[in-house]
A = this chain, B = another copy of it.
Amino acid sequence: MRLFDSGRAPNPRRVRIFLAEKGLEVPTEQVDITTLQHKTPEFTALNPLQRVPVLELDDGTVISESVAICHYFEGLRPEPPLFGRGAKEEALVEMWNRRLEHNLLATVAAVFRHLHPAMKELEAQVPEWGEANKPRVIEFLAFLDRALRDSLFVCGAHYTIADITGLVAIDFMKPARLAVPEELVHLRRWHAQVAARPSAGA
């Protein structure tokens, strides 16, 4: 098995944190996005959509999409459960992970991709779209702050993949030049807590 990873991008980091929480180590190859290694014929043959991360299994099966890769590792090593336990909890983890993906990770990414000068050559930028996403980020953070007032982690008492998506999205706010408002104290408490876990260094 080989994991095609890429240094600073948020999605590869989601998989690295997931592996660290599981205590799993996987042989890794680096794909340098800044030199367009994800657009080479070799990498395109693995994932025609030219996105990292990608997991290649020993039988040649290729799995792309971060959450699909995490799902596969959850099957390999079920403990600790990071997708929930039982039908209801699994549905709630899926709900929270998707809420964070659509309303936070995707909106922060839109701000970064469409407004950051470093992305000019990699993306056909629509600055107005980047600007339109700024208030969406802040609005969702306020919602998340309220949810975390009475909850240790994003989806209740246990750390799950939703916390990973949240941590990665919030940390991605820095290069996107966005800041978490001071008054969101529950969100800040939660972020400090998940950022202090050893897995956050992955």
Contact = CB atoms under 8 A, between A and B. Distances in A.
A49 B103 contact: yes
If over half of A's interface residues share one DSSP class (helix, strand or loop), that class is named, otherwise mixed; here it is: helix
A122 to B, nearest CB: 14
Which of A48, A94, A95, A99: most chain B Cβ within 10 A? A95
A68 interface: yes
Interface in A60-93: 61, 63-65, 67-69, 71-72, 75-76, 86-88, 90-92
A118 interface: no
Contacts of A98: 65, 67-68
Contacts of A64: 95, 99
A118 to B, nearest CB: 19
A67 B94 contact: yes
A152 B65 CA distance: 22
Interface of A: 48-49, 57, 61, 63-65, 67-69, 71-72, 75-76, 86-88, 90-92, 94-95, 98-99, 103, 124, 126, 128-129, 132, 143, 146
